[in-house]
Chain A
Amino acid sequence: SQTIHQWPATLVQPVGSPLSLECTVEGTSNPNLYWYRQAAGRGLQLLFYSVGIGQISSEVPQNLSASRPQDRQFILSSKKLLLSDSGFYLCAWSVGGGLGEQYFGPGTRLTVT
């Protein structure tokens, strides 16, 4: 069966510090991968998606970047965090090329102080 991991689970970082969040998927090959952000009490905002290694599409211009160095690894980064980067970050995967559902990881709670 497939599983998706995210770490860390929680993170408190000062403004201006760098960020690296990691997501890995097991039990499937060539998945589509997604990063979402959920601000407190708000809905989901799609940040990035990837349909293959090295292929990254950005949905909104911002202070963040994403990379996919391996087939089942997706990384969210920032060089300098802003207060507005605080939120709950969710990684998800779906079957490559399909129109089906997405499966979500447990999320990372990021607080920028």
Chain B
Amino acid sequence: GDSVTQMEGPVTLSEEAFLTINCTYTATGYPSLFWYVQYPGEGLQLLLKATKADDKGSNKGFEATYRKETTSFHLEKGSVQVSDSAVYFCALSDGSSNTGKLIFGQGTTLQVKP
């Protein structure tokens, strides 16, 4: 079945460092891909999305490109801030039905130190 694999955390960076969180997927169809962010004690917020190959999603300085050839959707940010500390989830849509179900990766914790 479809699946999502994220790099294990925690990822610890200094403020203004470059961030990459790797995400690869396995899917039989043509899924949409998403990154969600979860701040401590809160629900998940949609960070960005891409719906077809070569699309680039971007928001709040974060970017991710839908790479069909490498089945990847890596999250990047050029200069992280302490306020970016959170758990990041990569997800894909289950395109096999009308349920709208998403398949999530296990999450990657990011800690940014001042």
**A44 close to B (CB within 8 Å):** yes
**B53 close to A (CB within 8 Å):** no
**B99 close to A (CB within 8 Å):** yes
Which residues of chain B are within 8 angstroms of A43 by Cβ–Cβ distance?
89, 104-107
Knowing A44-B89, A99-B93 touch, does A106 contact B100 (C-beta < 8 A)?
no
Within residues 36 to 69 of chain A, which ones have a CB less than 8 A from any CB in chain B? 42-44, 46, 49, 51, 57
The residue in B36, B100, B102, B105 that gathers the most chain A C-beta atoms within 10 A of its C-beta is B100
- Name B104's contact: one of A44, A57, A101, A106 (CB within 8 Å): A44
| CB <8 Å contact, B100 and A98 | yes
Chain A residue at minimal CB-CB distance from B36: A104
Which residues of chain A are within 8 angstroms of B17 by Cβ–Cβ distance?
none
Name B's interface SS.
loop
Complex alpha-carbon distance, A42 and B104, angstroms: 12
Whole-angstrom distance between the Cβ of B41 and the nearest chain A Cβ? 8
Which residues of chain A are within 8 angstroms of B95 by Cβ–Cβ distance?
99
Whole-angstrom distance between the Cβ of B34 and the nearest chain A Cβ? 6
Within residues 84 to 106 of chain A, which ones have a CB less than 8 A from any CB in chain B? 90, 92, 94-106
- Known contacts A90-B43, A97-B100, A106-B43; 4 further A-B pairs (Cβ under 8 A): A46-B101, A99-B100, A100-B93, A101-B32
Which B residues are closer than 8 A to A by beta carbons?
A: 31-32, 34, 36, 41-46, 49, 89, 93, 95, 98-102, 104-107
Which A residues are closer than 8 A to B by beta carbons?
A: 6, 32, 34, 42-44, 46, 49, 51, 57, 90, 92, 94-107, 109
